[in-house]
Amino acid sequence: MRAMTYRGPYKLRVEEKDRPRIEHPNDAIVRVQLAAICGSDLHLYHGLMPDTRIGHTFGHEFIGVVDEIGPSVQHLQVGDRVMVPFNVFCGSCWYCARGLYSNCHNVNPNATAVGGIYGYSHTTGGYDGGQAEYVRVPFADVGPVRIPEWMHDEDAVLLTDAAATGYFGAQLGEIVEGDTVVVLGAGPVGLIAAQSSWLMGAGRVIVIDHLQERLDKARTTAHAEVWDYDEIDDVVLEMKRQTDFLGADVVIDAVGAEADGNLLMHVTGTKLKLQGGSPVALNWAIDGVRKGGTISVVGAYGPVPNMVKFGDAMNKGLTLRMNQTPVKRQWPRMFEHVRNGHLTPREVVTHRFPLEDIAEAYHVFSAKLDGCIKPLIVPSAS
Amino acid sequence: MTEQDIPSAYLRDKRTPPPSREELRARIPGWGADLDPADRPSSPKLQYPADSGAHWDFPDRQPGSAGREHSIEHAFVTPVFGTAQPLHGLSGAIRRLAYARFSEGRLAHWVLLVLGDRVDAWGSHLRSFGTLHPDDPITETGVRAELTAGGTARRGRSDRRHQVLDPVLVAGPWVAAGAGMVLGARRVARALRG
């Protein structure tokens, strides 16, 4: 089969690989119809994630058709069209039993601090991902769901991570009616987080970024106030000024490891890999939220320590909430929001590339060429 | 500053109330649909027992776990695991040391894994030159997208500042390796002459 393969930082190509096989009785093999590149894939692409091995196939956002099932699979059949949460999870460990699917303890031998994720290095379990023609899906009775007839394929693929993560990020903010919510980052996750903040009763939503096409999207699709931080001398001070010197009630970090906005942090965190990513957004969140406020972190960071202003967080009495998204838990309610038009995840899609052009796709997304916000990947076998 | 100008942070309540529900509902599709935390899927954080679809208490164990590296914070290799890119060669030895010796709480664990990544990358690049499909920094970096006027890059780069160091990071090791080879060759030639 054809599959994207990692060749080192900033380098990848499409190669012939063996089609995955059933390795566990509850496995399924899914023929990928549509995949996406996530902003967090760029962390792998840029060499930020430890134990990213040469030959690894990325991709944790994908939908497809069940091509083969293991002998213990009961809930799926060959031919079913499925959407697959980015989490690999067993459904039965201590964490899964409590709904913390993203923290599953039975699927990632390489680390206890993170669960299993498709195509996201060996630090998350060593599973090849979905930017390929076929992918192995463990625990087929637990993760995948048949795509509803009414759902658009591009909504479905966005729901496997980016949209679910934005919605989850707003929930982590514990928003109450009338809150002022600041969303850092106007990528796909930030845009959905801004939309979701309104669903939860925000009275004011501000999105901060420095890429004009993303700010335009935040204004038009998320009905948010937008701030270009390149035009603001001091983002934290502006957050205070604009909130009557209180600070925001809730700040959502939808940026993570590759944050710009502070040269020292960006270079040491993102370029030189001396930190687990650049903590600019997180530090803006800590300093820009009001005392007693809540910070929601859904941007991804690496496992190496970061220069985070934890003293300020403590002294301000902040609540910091964060996790990888337990995607499947979000779906029943999100399906309602998508069906009734409150959320339309596919609005963030800007580019579609054939799998064979995936090196260009990564470069366009990474370098922010052509106003790219969300690129999709279409395998030739689909 | 008069009393009327004192900002909210110094007073009991916010001076400017948020817009009314009616106003927000008129402006924002779905405003307040999840106002009640009971409608939020991840509230409360722990929900026991979750209806996950699992029909086992402990999963069947996937064959082939013998010798599979695992975090020493795990009691054993988890019942299901990825089998992509098993450990091999020098990079594999470095990574195995990271897993076997250091917990995830130790910086050495992660530094060794990053070192293993770089050794893996350089070894793979060198090995590729002995194959019919050597690494090609032009096609593999996707940099051709910069030049496809009328194609994907027609609107240009929107994030100039963010990317300044990328060419240095990508091309730097290749330039350094080339310079090293030239210097080495000159030194060898000088030694042979002298």
Total domains present in chain A: 2
Domain ranges (residues) in chain B: 89-148
Q: Determine what percent of chain B is predicted with pLDDT higher than 70.
A: 91
ω into A85 cis (within 30 of 0)? no
CATH code for position A203: 3.40.50.720
Contact (Cβ atoms closer than 8 angstroms) between residue B144 and residue A353: no
Pairing mode, strands A225-228 and A204-209: parallel
Do A84 and A167 lie in one domain? The reply is: no
Domain that holds residue A336: 2-161+326-378
| pLDDT per position as a tens digit, B146-173 | 887 545 555 667 666 666 677 777 777 7
* Cβ count near B39 (within 10 Å): 14
A112 touching chain B per CB within 8 A: yes
Do A346 and A243 lie in one domain? The reply is: no
Residues of A in contact with B171 (CB under 8 A): none
B60 touching chain A per CB within 8 A: yes
Do A20 and A144 lie in one domain? The reply is: yes
Do A108 and A229 lie in one domain? The reply is: no
Count of residues making up chain A: 382
Q: Choose one of A306, A322, A338: the last residue of a domain.
A: A322
Do A34 and A149 lie in one domain? The reply is: yes
Q: Which of A106-110, A278-282, B29-33 has the lowest mean pLDDT?
A: A278-282
Contacts of A134 (CB under 8 A, 6+ apart): A1, A19, A20, A29, A30, A31, A32, A67, A381
Band of residue A268 on the pLDDT scale cut at 50, 70, 90: confident
Record: contact A139-B144, CB cut-off 8 A: no
Residue of B nearest to A57 (CA): B84
Residues of B in contact with A218 (CB under 8 A): none
What the block records as the tokens of B186 is 């000159």
Band of residue A53 on the pLDDT scale cut at 50, 70, 90: very high
Do A171 and A188 lie in one domain? The reply is: yes
Residue numbers of A between 175 and 204 with CB closer than 8 Å to B:
177-180, 196, 198-201, 203-204
Facing residue for A50 by CB, picked from B46, B54, B113: B113
Do A59 and A157 lie in one domain? The reply is: yes
Facing residue for B71 by CB, picked from A109, A126, A362: A109
Distance of CA A280 to the CA centre of its chain: 18
A75 touching chain B per CB within 8 A: yes
Do A269 and A362 lie in one domain? The reply is: no
Q: Report the C-alpha gap between B13 and A217 in whole angstroms.
A: 33
Average pLDDT, chain A: 96
Record: contact A361-B81, CB cut-off 8 A: no
Average pLDDT, chain B: 91
Record: contact B34-A74, CB cut-off 8 A: no
Do A96 and A123 lie in one domain? The reply is: yes
Residues of A in contact with B99 (CB under 8 A): 110
> Is residue B105 predicted with pLDDT exceeding 60?
yes
> Is residue A218 predicted with pLDDT exceeding 70?
yes
Residue of B nearest to A53 (CA): B117
Residue numbers of B between 109 and 138 with CB closer than 8 Å to A:
110, 113-114, 116-117, 120-125, 128, 133, 135-137
| pLDDT per position as a tens digit, A137-191 | 999 999 999 999 999 999 999 999 999 999 999 999 999 999 999 999 999 999 9
Do A102 and A138 lie in one domain? The reply is: yes
Residue of A nearest to B24 (CA): A203
Torsion sign (Cα): A237, A241, A242, A244: positive
pLDDT at B163: 64
CATH code for position A9: 3.90.180.10
Facing residue for B78 by CB, picked from A107, A303, A360: A107
Do A104 and A231 lie in one domain? The reply is: no
pLDDT at A309: 96
- 10 Å CB burial of residue B114 (0-12, 13-18, 19+) is buried
pLDDT at B152: 56
Q: What ipTM was predicted for this assembly? A: 0.95
How many CA atoms lie less than 13 Å away from A381 in the CB half-sphere?
A: 19
Residues of B in contact with A26 (CB under 8 A): 59-60
Do A146 and A220 lie in one domain? The reply is: no
Average pLDDT over residues A122-131: 98
